[in-house]
Structures are given as C-alpha cells and as structure tokens.
Structure 1
C-alpha cells in the first residue's frame, strides 16, 4: 500500500477547496490515461490527496510524479491501494478514513482494486461522472466530435486565453484535455476567477452525457466505438442527446457535416460552419494554412496556423467561434472586433498537441490517428508536407473491435501509402471487446489490394521492420493511439 500525496506541500497552483462529493483522499485507476491524469492535476490543485495505479509508465504518469503524486505500476492488485490517514470517530475509536476511487473507461468492473473498494464501502466513480461534477455549468465549454476534439479543445483554450489576457480582469480560462499541449507541457489547467473551463467531451460509453456545459462545439459525427453503440444511428442519437443538454441561453457550434438531427435537438442558439460561420482561406505554408473567420457581427484578422492540415482550419474555426460566442455572454469587456483580434492572437500561440502530427525527426512524424477518417486525413496532410517523397507508414491499430468494424476503411485509408508495416493491435479494452480482428487480418486485406504491407509484430519489433527500408528520400509516419509512441528512441537511434 502507498501513502497519498500531500497537496499542501505542493507549490503554487490556485485552489478552490475540496470537491464536496469526494473525501480528501482519492485513488485513481488508469492514472496514466489522458483524461484521468488531467483530472488528477485539477483535484490536486484543489487540495485532494492522491494516489494512483496503472499498468505501465507513460508521459502522463511522469507528469503526475513531478507533482508528487505516487503512481504504482504493474498488474492491478489490492496492494496498490492507498493507506489514508487514520481518523478518530465521535466515540474516540480509531478507524481508517475513506478514500474514493476514480477509474478510467478502460478499467473493467472486475478490477481487484475496484472490487475491494466496493467491499470497503468506498465511493467509486467513472472518470466521466467526476468530470461532470467538476465542471461548473455556467462556465464550462465542451468540445465533442468523432475526430479533432483534443486539438480543438486546446485551440479553444488558447483563444480564451488571448481574450483573458486582453481583458486583464483577473480571470483566466482552465482546461482538461486528452493530450499534452506541446508548449505548456500539460493536459490540464485550473481556471482562475470566472474564467471559462474548456473540456474535451468524449462520446465513448456515452461519457459526454454526464456533462451539462453552457456551450459546446461538435466537430463531426461518424461511426466509431461501435463496441458500445452498435450502429451509426445510435451514435448520432447520443450526440443529439448531448446537444439537448445545453441551456437555452447557451451556444452550440457545429461542423458543416454534423447531422441535422443533432442541430434540431439543441435548445441553444446554433452557429454552423458554412452558414453563420464563413472561412476565407489564405496561403498554405508546407501544409500549415492561413485563414480568416467571419461570424455574426465580427471577423478575425488573418490567422497563420502552426499545425498542418486543412481539417485544422475547421477545428480552429469552431474553437474561435465558441470562444467568441461564450465571451459575448459576459457583460462588459472588449467589443466584438477587439475580442476577435485577441482570440486570434491567442490561437496563433498554439503550437500543437503531443502525438498530433508531432515531428520526431526532419522527415518522421507521429500521429494519434486510429480511425480510418483520421488515417486518411493524416496521409493526405503528409503528402502536402513532404511533397514527392515516398511515404512509409507504421500503423498500430487501436482496439480489436475497432479493427474488425473498420477493416475495409483502414484498407482504403492506407491504400495511398507506398509501404505499410502493421504492428500488433493495442488492446486497452481487450477484456471488454467481443467483435475482434488483429494485425495479420489487416495485412492480408492490404495485400489483397496490392498494398506493400508487412506484419511487424510487437511495437519494438515493428520498429526494426519499419527501419529496414527507410532512406533519406522517404518520409515516415508512425500512426496509432496506443503505446506505439514508445518506439521513438528505437527509430531515432
């Protein structure tokens, strides 16, 4: 057993006090997950004493270690559970104080620590449930969508930060995102004062239905997570339910292809890209686009993005619009044009998110793409960034169920690569996957349409296979949302 961190010994983050729904001590299962690790930072800032567990170390667990939050590693076992300080009850008897459990979506109901906590009568929460309790309705702005929500949420934060810096009223935005901002080196920032709270709203397991934000953006809606939804119609209905959770006085910002069903479900005002929101495209600099955004009663100056891909212009447009619309609900402050200029300056400070078209070398890029649409868009962007270069792809499929559901889609998306190495499937939710396919099936399907594809095996072995045909003339993409990022040193060594 491990003692919890002592938040009182940590430095300078502002604190609002303990969450009333939680005891002081909190134990995190799946602590290295993108969402749970960010939640840990926010709870730590409020003074909660934290411990955590995950199967293996990651950049997220390293960040928590820097805060003094002890994270144990290895297979789940009750020995990893915390030892909260003893407490004295009203009759003077000594009893162990209660800790709460917060778990990621990847932690199943039979996890030994979760089972033991329930036996002890400790309160247990899924990550999404706790996020819903942490996010104040009148200050929260949520970004949802099948693709692009991590980048769009960080773009929203930076736009809000630009406005806050210009207004200088003592408030500052906060955020909780499923990826590390490359400049800030974090996935969570506590809000200050009346600052807005920008959060990534995940649709897996209908998690986003735990949220009640003031405003929201939905980037796009496609079939995904069919292990829990079953059909695209069920996915669309869940997004419609999410849209219906906004208040009448709120704002919903939609991508141009979001289904009408979702828009009609919203009680809030709706701005849609291509209708209320118009993009004026500017010049392209090796895949990084300049643009202007025109909205209801305002227009931005030209903005030069520092992240590549036409899809990121759309992400940025939605983020800017939500920042503008939400700040418009606040009395006083800057006029609309000054606010648009401030939001644009903030957005131009955004340098990207780790694992989103992240350069590992001059001609080697890693991206989190793990859905056919994302893989296709990343390859298309790479062709613009590396014009004329043979494109070699090392792909780690994410979840056996997704690989099975979208096997044909992955074949179509990877068909434009000059060579493909497929690593073993990363199966964080393998215990709850039922419909499955593996790397070998994907390789055979690619070969059937004459793609130069080879099975790579485990990530480290796949890296060696990938390196064999990489030359100074080729460009490389390493794709996947699992632990494939762990091979960076193997490829660069």
Structure 2
C-alpha cells in the first residue's frame, strides 16, 4: 500500500488532510519542525508518526504531499524529486481528492474557518461527510457523500478545486503581499466560481460578490430583502443569537445559534441555504446549528480568576471589529481589552489606520511585536507605528504581561494569526499565582 508522507504535517491544512487520509484507511506519516503546534495533538491521538525534517525520511514507496510553505529546494522535497518519487502539492492533491464527492468549497476573505466548521458539523449529522477545516481539524469518511473544505484564496491556490458547490462569505482586500487590489481578489474569486459545477452561495450584501458573472446559478443570502435567502428579526442575547429565515419571501423557520455577532448569523444563513438547496431536513439542520461548539482559535473562551480570556484568529481590521462586537454582545457589562499581534509587515503597513480604528473600538489596547513572514522583509515599520495610533500606546512583551492584571471583570481578547497564544499562556501563569482581591480589599491596600 502507498505510504503518504506529508512535508510540513503540522500546518493547519496539512494536518487536517493527513487526518482525512488516515480515516480513509491509508498509511500516513509526516515531518515538520520540532516546535510544538496545537495542530499536532490530533495527529498524535491517531498515532500518526511525526518526524523531524530530514532528507533521510525519504525512501522508496512514499508519495510526497508537499506543504505550500516549503519550496522545491527543501531537503525532503529535493530528495524525493531526485529519487523520482511522486511529489504533489497540498492544494493539487486536495483538488483530486474531492472529485469523488459532492464537494462544498467554503471561501471568502473572512469567515472561512468558522463557516466550514459549522457546515461540517451540520452535514455529518445528516449524511456521510468528510471535512477539512483550517483550524487543523479533518475527518475522512470511507463512504461517498459530502466533502466540506476550507478553500484559501492566497496565491490563488483554491483554483486547484472544481467543487460541486461553493460558499463565498465576502470579498475584501487581504494578503497585500500577493493581491494588488480588491479587483485582483475579485478576479480570483470569480475564476473559482467559473469552476463550480452546480451553484455558488454568495453573500448578497457584499458589493463585490454582487459583481459575479457565472454560468452556474448564484444563490444570494444576507440581511437585505433582495437576497434569495434572508435573515430577519435578529435578536441578540448574551447566550447567542435568534433569527428568522425567509426563502424568496416565504418564512422557513426560526433558528438559534450559540454564537455572537452579525457575521455568525450570515455564516449560519449560508449553511441553511445550502442545506435547503440540497433538500436536507430543516428541523435537523435547526437542531445541529444549536449544538455547534465552534472551531479552534475562533472566540475560544477561558474563564480564569476575575477575567474572561478569549483566543481569536482575527488578523484583519474587519475581523477585529467582528470579534470586539461579539464580545460586546456576550459580555455587555464588562470592559473589553484588546491584545493584538499583527501578522506580517505587509499587512500591517497596508492596513495601519484600519487596524488602529478597529482596535480602538475596545476600551483599551495592548500590542505585541509584529509576527513577520519568511516571505517578506521588515523594512522600517515597527509595532510602535501602530501603537502611536491606538489607545494608551501600549506595547506588551511576553515576559511582562502583568500589565493586564488591573482589569478586573474584563474581557481580554488575544487576537492574531501568529503566535499570540504564547502571550496568553504567559499571562495565564501569572493569573494562576495572583491572589484575588475584592474592591474593598484593594481600597484598604491603597
């Protein structure tokens, strides 16, 4: 039997794909750096071998799945090419794999992971489903059925997919190191849409997505009355969100989700629209939406001592706004403190004022040094350039997170796509050794 060797197996997509192939009965191994990543736990739980990078890992009988972060000059990929072994890039292998399924590619500048997670959760309760989520979660079904996958637009990698359906959550300018403008991003999404076989479900409230011209039907969803699927009568509560769904003006049902913010209503609406289109039970869809526990690093809550700590992947001004608004909905009476680590110098430079404006929606802002990419040069930009534009001008270090201690009964939002989790972990250690004092105690001390 072929053994699949994943170069960069700890990557979010690679980890998920390795799990899918393992579940389908294939022999799987992989390699990566020896630093711990949260994605490796699921691999270890399945007993998938993870090796340190080495050309010695490559031998006859392997098919190499190469992570997109690694060039052909990587020692393992180079050895595989020299040995004339099959070497397939992650996105191309995934594109081949989904051909045997009713596939749904979930894409968009924001909301891909949360929507793919929600869609996967609903579908797997109704039919055999394989899924690949960008938080490192993957599951493979040995039966033919649905395949829900997160489809990333970066470097147009998602053009390797020819899915049955696509869900497009929005179009925004991101990845400024690759995309030159929002029109460039639009071009990539429209090209994907032209490869979809049955229908595209697109946010009709998004002006860019309204520009799509495709051969297949475009099913628009959103809050606006002009959408085929419309969410109305939204009720925001501290326990979640309730809303009515109408299809072509006719009431379908009232749905409830245990998540917060308009973006999560729209994510759920896209899933509902696809399920109605596929003639799946609305009653069962309704039940499954209510039981969705969320995906990793998307508003993940830890209650510790006198604070609420939230880990979130938000790394674009639009995503930060959504996360702050979600915190305001769930915790209306608490102070919101943003701790943000910008991801890449190019994105920070391109959206400097946008980051400041969205972060300043919080009550206080703390910044971590920019998490750079190997693909770019730092230039003259530093975190101080953003700090000058944000409340308090605070810059925080991993070994000095105690500055967050005075915010009693606050929500601390740790946001970013780099390694901002290490700042939260360092702070949690401090909190664990902090004595809880009441306000009366504090006054007595002062």
- TM-score interval w.r.t. the shorter chain? 0.7 to 0.9
Name the SS of the counterpart of 2:332 in structure 1: coil
Q: Which of 94, 109, 121 is residue 84 of structure 2 equivalent to?
A: 121
TM-superposition CA deviations, 1:124-172 (whole Å, max 9, x none)? 222111110111265101111000111111221233234x2xxxxxx42
Question: Structure 2 unaligned runs (5+)?
Answer: 430-446
Q: Does 1:70 align with 2:26?
A: no
Residue number in structure 2 paired with 1:304: 256
Of residues 144, 149, 165, the one that matches 2:112 is 149
Pairs within 5 Å for 1:54-93: 54-55=32-33, 56-73=35-52, 76-79=53-56, 81-83=57-59
Structure 1 gaps, min length 5: 1-22, 84-96, 165-170, 181-186, 329-333
**Are the equivalent residues in 2 in contact too, given 1:227–1:434 (CA < 8 A)?**
no
Q: Any idea what SS the aligned residue of 2:39 has?
A: helix
Q: CA deviation at 1:299?
A: 4.6
Match in the other structure for 1:227: 177
1:211-226 aligned at under 5 Å gives the runs 211-226=161-176
> Which residue does 2:342 correspond to in 1?
397
Aligned residue number for residue 156 of structure 2: 206
Aligned to 1:177: 133
**Corresponding residue number in structure 1 for 2:215:** 267
Structure 2 residue aligned with 1:49:
27
Task: Please give the secondary structure, in 2, of the residue aligned with 1:318.
Answer: helix
- The normalised TM-score by structure 1 is 0.79
8 Å CA contact 2:203–2:209 kept in 1: the answer is no
SS at match of 2:121: helix
The reply to whether residue 340 of structure 1 matches residue 318 of structure 2 is no
SS at structure 1 position matched to 2:145: coil
User: Structure 2 CA distance, aligned partners of 1:238 and 1:466?
Assistant: 44
Residue 45 (structure 1) shift: 2.1
Query: How many Å apart are 1:399 and its aligned residue?
Result: 2.1
Question: 1: CA distance between counterparts of 2:129 and 2:233?
Answer: 28
Give the match's secondary structure for 1:197: strand
CA deviation vs aligned residue, 1:331-354 (integer Å, no higher than 9, x gap): xxx6xxxx2222111211211112
Q: Distance in 2 between matches of 1:365 and 1:224?
A: 24
Contact 2:24 2:142 in 1 (8 A): no
**In the alignment, what sits opposite 2:16?**
38
In 2 relative to 1, CA 418–30 (structure 1 residues): closer, same or farther, beyond 3 Å?
same
Change in CA separation of 1:300 and 1:442 when aligned onto 2, cut-off 3 Å: farther
Point out the more displaced range, 214-223 or 406-415: 406-415
Q: Which of 310, 318, 332 in structure 2 is aligned with 1:387?
A: 332
User: What is the DSSP-based 3-state SS (H/G/I as helix, E as strand, rest coil) of the residue aligned with 1:323?
Assistant: helix
Partner residue of 1:432 out of 354, 362, 375: 375
Change in CA separation of 1:371 and 1:25 when aligned onto 2, cut-off 3 Å: same
Give the CA deviation at 1:479: 0.4
The answer to whether residue 237 in structure 2 is matched with residue 281 in structure 1 is no
Match of 2:395 in 1: 455
Q: Secondary structure at the match of 1:301?
A: strand
Q: CA deviation at 1:408?
A: 2.0
Q: How many residues are aligned here? A: 421
Q: Which residue of 181, 193, 207 maps to 1:243?
A: 193
Using the TM superposition, give the Cα deviation of residue 435 of structure 1 relative to its aligned residue in structure 2, in angstroms. Answer: 7.0
Task: Verify the 8 A CA contact 2:58 2:79 in the aligned structure 1.
Answer: no
Maintained 8 Å contact 1:392/1:474: yes
1:254 Cα deviation after fit: 0.7
Specify the alignment match of 1:25 in structure 2: 3
Q: Verify the 8 A CA contact 1:154 1:177 in the aligned structure 2.
A: yes
- 2-structure distance, mates of 1:466, 1:391: 17
Q: 1:377 offset after TM fit, Å?
A: 1.4
Equivalent position of 1:349 in the other structure:
291
Q: Normalised by the size of structure 2, how large is the TM-score?
A: 0.87
Distance (Å, rounded) in 2 between the aligned partners of 1:426 and 1:40: 27
CA distance in 1, matches of 2:327, 2:300: 11
Residues 230/137 of structure 1: CA separation in 2 closer, same or farther (3 Å cut) = farther
Q: Does residue 1:444 correspond to 2:407, yes or no?
A: no
Q: Per the alignment, in what secondary structure is the counterpart of residue 125 of structure 1?
A: strand
1:420 maps to 2:383: no
